[in-house]
Every structure is written in structure tokens, then in C-alpha cells.
Amino acid sequence: MTRPVVVFDYDGTLVDTFAAKQAAYARAVAEALGLGAEHRLVLEASYARTSGANRFAQLAETAAELSRTVTEAQRGEFSRRFSIYNAESADAMPEFPSARRVLETLGARCDLVLTSGMPHTMLIEDATRRSLVAYFVRVDGGDKGQALDRLRAEGRRVAMLVGDTAHDEAVAVERGVPFYRVCSDADLARLPEVVW
């Protein structure tokens, strides 16, 4: 019998990334679009609303809020800068203290899949650097919805999506997958009780 699958979002769920990524996002958007310091609060608020989505979906929503059109060159420059700033602050993004214990506990009874809105290669690189890849039967970055769709197309029963944002919850709800929100290490530590 095939084991159920628990799908984990990465940043914000297993690794405490919000503050560092919010700052990196605001800086990358401002620089790519030529915005001044007066836009910082708008950019940070936009990131807070769209956190968890693919970076280009986030940028599109931010641009709409600012009534701006973004060129392909600006998209590319934003993505390049966002990647650089995230990489520069990666060591300042700690794992939640209970992450490995939770992964070990759940991995004994379920297959675990890691997903993220971040590009696939970046997800693999960061999870490998942190020695987290071994906990997962699959790492699938880029689009959480597509990751869930692929699992279901393979006939896998997705028992739960574990995430930290409204975007994550919307992805789960759209696909009829139970969702568990992580807002702190205490939430993550309780997860095994919720799954069983």
C-alpha cells in the first residue's frame, strides 16, 4: 500500500525566512524598477500579502498596486537581484528548532515532499546546504499548485499541505487538500499530533 504524502512548503514553514526575504524583495523590486525609499513600506506590505507565491506572481501584483508596467528586462533584473540578496542572507535564516524532529517523526509513516514558490534549483541548493534533502522523497520547486497536481496525477494521496501563507492555503483549498498553517516553531512542533 502506498504511503500518504505530506507536502511541506519550505521557507517560512521549515526555515524562518520572512523578515530576510521581505527585505530582499523590497530592495530587489526598488532597484529593478527604479523606486525610491518612499516606496519601501508599500513593497514590504505587498510582499507580506503575496508571500508564498512564485516571485513573478508577487512582482506582477506589486506592479499592479503601483500602477506600473514591468518589462521583461526588469523582471529578469528583479529575479537576479532577489536571488542574490536571498543568498547573501541565507545564513541569517535559521531552521525552526523542531523542524528535523518533526520531519523524522512524520517521515516514519508518510512520504514527505518539499515544495516552494522559489525556483527549483535554488530550493535544491538551499535544502542541500542545510542537509534537509534526505528527509524528502521529492523536492519540487517553482509552483506549489503544480507540485500538488503532479502528485495527484501519479495517484498519490496528499494527506496535507503544510505552509505559512494565505497563498499556501489557497493552493490547498483549490485542490481539496487539507492545510495546516505554521506561524511559529510551536505550530510546527504540534504538526505530528495533527496528522495522526
Q: How many CB atoms lie within 10 A of CB 173?
A: 12
Confidence at residue 1, expressed as pLDDT on a 0 to 100 scale: 64
Total-model pTM: 0.76
What integer pLDDT is reported at residue 32 of this predicted model? 97
Is 163:172 a contact under the CB 8 Å cutoff?
Answer: yes
C-alpha span between 104 and 99 (Å, rounded): 9
What pLDDT, on the 0 to 100 scale, is given for residue 91?
Answer: 80
Q: Give 46-50 contacts, CB < 8 A, sequence gap 24+.
A: 47/21, 47/22, 48/22, 49/166, 50/167
pLDDT, position 5 = 97
Return per-residue pLDDT of the chain as tens, 196 residues: 689 999 999 988 999 888 888 999 999 999 999 999 999 999 999 998 887 778 899 999 999 999 999 999 999 999 999 989 988 887 888 999 999 999 999 999 999 999 998 889 989 998 999 999 999 999 998 889 999 999 999 999 999 999 998 889 999 999 999 999 998 899 999 999 998 7
One-letter amino acid at 10 equals: Y
DSSP codes, 98-119: THHHHHHHHHTTSEEEEEESS-
